[in-house]
């Protein structure tokens, strides 16, 4: 555990006692802070009290009089669509609001590890896990935390030879009061979490903050969208400024440092000269164009950390993939079953659909804003759709007349029907293009159910 510095003898309130919140409370106490905690759930409050924490409702009269900072968990709204009452109470009391990411950077000493922070709409989990894998395979002491794996303050104290890879959501980048990464990575941007940021502009602003206020030594930026191009331009000082590494799945020209993946070939170019290239088409853990973009971002970050091309290529080829992200769970009679339950929005599902041919597509769930129109150009490889979710009928209709769709409602029916229909050479793909909360607690549970149903096939 990393003891939080700077609050010795001071009162600190922690709001939300999930994984990151409870870890933050422990780390604050380890650093000498006087910690009070609160969670809207009674069970979480009882568990914290059993660890000796003082449980106090921060919205009560005078509850924050002896508090200097309120540390909130990322899932708790702090501005849109409406601030949590405890956040409002902190504003009224003049108490600063922060999160565990801000506490982490605040607590780094002189012998601090290198930090790589990775954000974006899609691919940030895979990019983070892939970079961590590349580093460890190359013999570097690397640690994975943040929005993936462990809470960042749950890591053990580290030194200058260590590297911390942090996946950061927009909720985390928006609120952290201290952000000082050595390398910052922006994968891409597509509409998501718009209710928490009052629209696309607020969403991008939350991501951009990692760069604008973080001041990284190097910025790895996906430039396949205008927001990425804007951000790269904001970060550079001159056309050949190699503090910015541009990443793309298309053609990039110019004098700067860039890593691209066109037609499955990764290429690194610097100062107009190609330095390295890798054929990604036969890398099993990174199928499809979207994963090739992730590979480019991880390659660029690893190069910025001083790794050589051969070590990085070895890491790419040995990468096993993440659960629920283009995860190959079985092959039966020439039919491959792929779990991409993490494809919770239209853009992620579109990327998954482009990674395979002749697809038996399991989709549906709780639709997000914007509808399914952006999916229509990517449905040509779908042989048939098997729709799940409480609103499966409406979802199937939204796919349009060009897609043959069967309303299955539940996962068991969808897997059974897709497996029955599938022919050798086809892929049964779970890429829902929707959130899971109408039927599952989270996308992991949905993906686990898919894998279990596939394993139970006769």
Residue 308 sits in the same domain as residue 396: no
Residue 129 sits in the same domain as residue 59: no
Residue 126 marked ligand-binding:
yes
pLDDT tens, position by position, 356-392: 999 999 999 998 877 898 899 999 999 999 999 999 9
- CA–CA separation, 371 vs 366, rounded Å? 11
Burial class (CB in 10 A: 0-12, 13-18, 19+), 404: exposed
Note the pTM of the prediction, 2 decimals.
0.85
Q: How confident is the model at residue 152 (pLDDT cuts 50, 70, 90)?
A: very high
**Per the domain annotation, does 303 fall within a domain?**
yes
Sign of the dihedral through C-alpha 410, 411, 414, 417: negative
- CA–CA separation, 200 vs 214, rounded Å? 21
Catalytic site includes residue 124: yes
Strand partners, 104: none
Catalytic site includes residue 78: no
Largest separation between any pair of C-alpha atoms in the chain? 68
- CA–CA separation, 224 vs 249, rounded Å? 7
**Per the domain annotation, does 51 fall within a domain?**
yes
Range of the domain at 75: 11-98
**Residue 210 corresponds to which tokens in the numbers above?**
């990692």
User: How far is CA 23 from each of CA 34, 114, 146, 416, rounded to the nearest angstrom?
Assistant: 15, 22, 12, 42
Task: Report pLDDT for 141.
Answer: 97
Token look-up 């509409």 returns 191
Q: How confident is the model at residue 450 (pLDDT cuts 50, 70, 90)?
A: very high
For residue 294, how far is the Cα from the chain centroid? 11
Residue 120 marked ligand-binding:
yes
* 51 CB-near residues (< 8 Å, 6+ apart): 26
**Per the domain annotation, does 144 fall within a domain?**
yes
Task: Report pLDDT for 150.
Answer: 86
**Per the domain annotation, does 136 fall within a domain?**
yes
**Per the domain annotation, does 116 fall within a domain?**
yes
Name the more confident of 90 and 237. Answer: 90
pLDDT tens, position by position, 37-65: 999 999 999 999 999 999 999 999 999 99
* Average pLDDT score, the chain: 93
Average pLDDT over residues 206-214: 91
Q: Pick from 42, 65, 98: which residue ends a domain? A: 98
DSSP state of 375: G
Residue 212 sits in the same domain as residue 92: no
Residue 109 sits in the same domain as residue 154: yes
DSSP state of 87: H
Residue 124 marked ligand-binding:
yes
Neighbours of 40 (CB within 10 A): 14
Residue 76 sits in the same domain as residue 179: no
CATH number at residue 113: 3.40.1190.10
- CA–CA separation, 401 vs 264, rounded Å? 32
Residue 90 sits in the same domain as residue 108: no
For residue 20, how far is the Cα from the chain centroid? 15
DSSP 3-state helix, strand, coil percentages of the chain (rounded to 5)? 35, 25, 40
Average pLDDT over residues 190-218: 85
Residue 286 sits in the same domain as residue 245: yes
Average pLDDT over residues 190-215: 84
Residue 147 sits in the same domain as residue 131: yes
**Cα 19–Cα 24–Cα 26 angle in degrees, nearest 5:** 100
Residue 260 sits in the same domain as residue 294: yes
Burial class (CB in 10 A: 0-12, 13-18, 19+), 59: middle
**Residue 309 corresponds to which tokens in the numbers above?**
């091309």
- CA–CA separation, 455 vs 412, rounded Å? 11
Task: Report pLDDT for 192.
Answer: 66
Task: Report pLDDT for 147.
Answer: 86
Average pLDDT over residues 265-292: 92
Task: Report pLDDT for 201.
Answer: 87
**Residue 58 corresponds to which tokens in the numbers above?**
């921060």
Backbone φ, ψ for residue 115 (5° rounding): -125, 135
Residue 93 sits in the same domain as residue 108: no
Catalytic site includes residue 345: no
Q: Pick from 294, 318, 342: which residue ends a domain? A: 318
Average pLDDT over residues 71-76: 92
Average pLDDT over residues 251-279: 93
**Per the domain annotation, does 3 fall within a domain?**
no
User: What is the count of structural domains for the chain?
Assistant: 3
Average pLDDT over residues 2-22: 94
Q: Which of 78, 132, 143, 147 is catalytic?
A: 147
pLDDT tens, position by position, 304-332: 999 999 999 999 999 988 889 888 899 99
CATH number at residue 33: 3.40.50.720
Q: Pick from 318, 350, 366: which residue ends a domain? A: 318
Strand partners, 69: 12, 96
**Per the domain annotation, does 138 fall within a domain?**
yes
**Residue 31 corresponds to which tokens in the numbers above?**
């650093």
For residue 401, how far is the Cα from the chain centroid? 33
Q: Is 416 helix (H, G, I), strand (E, B) or coil?
A: helix
**Per the domain annotation, does 422 fall within a domain?**
yes
Contact yes or no for 111/159 (Cβ under 8 A): yes
* 307 CB-near residues (< 8 Å, 6+ apart): 134, 135, 138, 140
Task: Report pLDDT for 110.
Answer: 82
Residue 197 sits in the same domain as residue 216: yes
Q: Which of 78, 84, 99, 124 is catalytic?
A: 124
Task: Report pLDDT for 368.
Answer: 80
Residue 293 sits in the same domain as residue 356: no
Q: Which of 193, 376, 378, 442 is catalytic?
A: 193
Task: Report pLDDT for 448.
Answer: 97
pLDDT(200) > 70:
yes
pLDDT(197) > 80:
no
CATH number at residue 343: 3.90.190.20
Kindly write down the DSSP assignment for every residue of 191-221, as one continuous string. S-SHHHHTSHHHHHHHHHHHHHTT--SEEEE
pLDDT tens, position by position, 332-359: 999 999 999 999 989 889 989 988 999 9
Backbone φ, ψ for residue 167 (5° rounding): -85, 130
């Amino acid at each position: 555990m990393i003891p939080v510095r700077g609050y010795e003898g001071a009162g600190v309130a922690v709001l939300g006692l999930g994984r990151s919140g409870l870890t933050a409370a422990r780390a604050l106490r380890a650093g000498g802070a006087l910690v009070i905690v609160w969670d809207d759930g009674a069970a979480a409050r009882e568990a914290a009290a059993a660890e000796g924490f003082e449980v106090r409702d921060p919205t009560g009269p005078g509850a924050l009089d002896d508090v200097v900072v309120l540390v909130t968990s990322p899932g708790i709204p702090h501005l849109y669509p409406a601030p949590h009452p405890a956040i409002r109470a902190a504003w009224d009391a003049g108490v600063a609001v922060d999160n565990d990411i801000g506490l982490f950077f605040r607590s780094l000493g002189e012998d601090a590890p290198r930090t790589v922070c990775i954000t974006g709409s899609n691919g940030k989990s895979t990019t983070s896990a892939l970079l961590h894998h590349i580093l460890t395979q190359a013999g570097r002491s690397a640690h994975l935390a943040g929005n993936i794996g462990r809470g960042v303050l749950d890591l053990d104290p580290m030194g200058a030879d260590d590297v911390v890879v942090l996946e950061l959501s927009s909720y985390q980048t928006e609120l952290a009061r201290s952000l000082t990464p050595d390398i910052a990575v922006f994968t891409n941007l597509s509409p998501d979490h718009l209710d928490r940021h009052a629209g696309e502009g607020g969403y991008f602003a939350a991501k951009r903050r990692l760069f604008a206020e973080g001041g990284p030594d190097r910025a790895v930026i996906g430039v396949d969208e205008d927001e990425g191009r804007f951000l790269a331009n904001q970060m550079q000082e001159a056309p050949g400024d190699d503090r910015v590494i541009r990443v793309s799945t298309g053609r990039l020209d110019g004098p700067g440092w860039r890593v691209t993946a066109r037609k499955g070939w990764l290429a690194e170019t610097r100062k107009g000269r190609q330095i390295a290239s890798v054929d990604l088409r036969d890398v099993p853990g990174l199928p499809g164009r979207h994963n090739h973009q992730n590979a480019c971002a991880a390659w660029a970050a690893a190069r910025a950390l001083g790794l050589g091309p051969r070590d990085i290529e070895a890491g790419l080829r040995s990468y096993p993939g993440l659960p629920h992200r283009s995860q190959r769970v079985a092959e039966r009679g020439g039919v491959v079953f792929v779990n991409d339950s993490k494809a919770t929005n239209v853009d992620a599902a579109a990327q998954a659909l482009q990674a395979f041919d002749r697809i038996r597509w399991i989709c549906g769930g709780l639709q997000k804003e914007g509808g399914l129109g952006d999916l229509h150009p990517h449905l040509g490889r779908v042989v048939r759709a098997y729709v799940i979710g409480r609103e499966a009928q409406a979802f199937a209709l939204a796919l349009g007349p060009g897609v043959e769709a069967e309303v299955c409602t539940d996962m068991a029916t969808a897997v059974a029907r897709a497996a029955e229909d599938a022919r050798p050479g086809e892929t049964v793909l779970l890429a829902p293009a929707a959130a899971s909360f109408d039927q599952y607690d989270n996308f992991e549970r949905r993906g686990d159910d898919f894998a279990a149903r596939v394993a139970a096939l006769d």
